[in-house]
Amino acid sequence: MERTGIKKTAYYNFLKGEGNVEEYVAKTNKLFCIKDPFFFYKADMEFKERTFGRSRADSFMNYVALLFHGTVNEELKKGMHFFSEFVERIDVLKSVTNSENPRGSP
């Protein structure tokens, strides 16, 4: 841990989850070239509702509502919902096509 600049007592506190954990995780990730930001966290980590609960369609509709300055009627909602589903289907077809032919050869 000397190469990270973390003192021995701070390192043991880090292992217990005490102290400035975020800083020590960043330093340890840098030392061992770990790319995964959640490598040192538990799998059952709780996420905030706004991060985890929003769907792709909700995000898309919020974006459309901002473009129309909040004047979104029912017809626009239906049209945008149809467009969103259409784009998702194209995305799925593209990934299926790429998985069947991963290198792009005929």
User: What would the pLDDT profile of 32-85 be if each residue is shown by its tens digit?
Assistant: 888 877 777 666 556 555 544 456 666 767 777 777 776 777 887 788 788 878
State residue 6's pLDDT score: 82
Which helix (H) or strand (E) is 89 found in, with range?
helix 74-100
Angle subtended at Cα 95 by Cα 90 and Cα 99, rounded to the nearest 5 degrees: 150
Q: Does 104 score more than 80 pLDDT?
A: no
Cβ count near 24 (within 10 Å): 20
State residue 106's pLDDT score: 53
State residue 13's pLDDT score: 84
pLDDT band at 101 (very low <50, low <70, confident <90, very high): low
Establish how many alpha carbons lie within 13 A of residue 18's alpha carbon, considering only the half-sphere containing its beta carbon. 6
Q: Let me know: does 19 contact 10? Beta carbons within 8 Å.
A: yes
Q: What is the pTM of this model?
A: 0.36
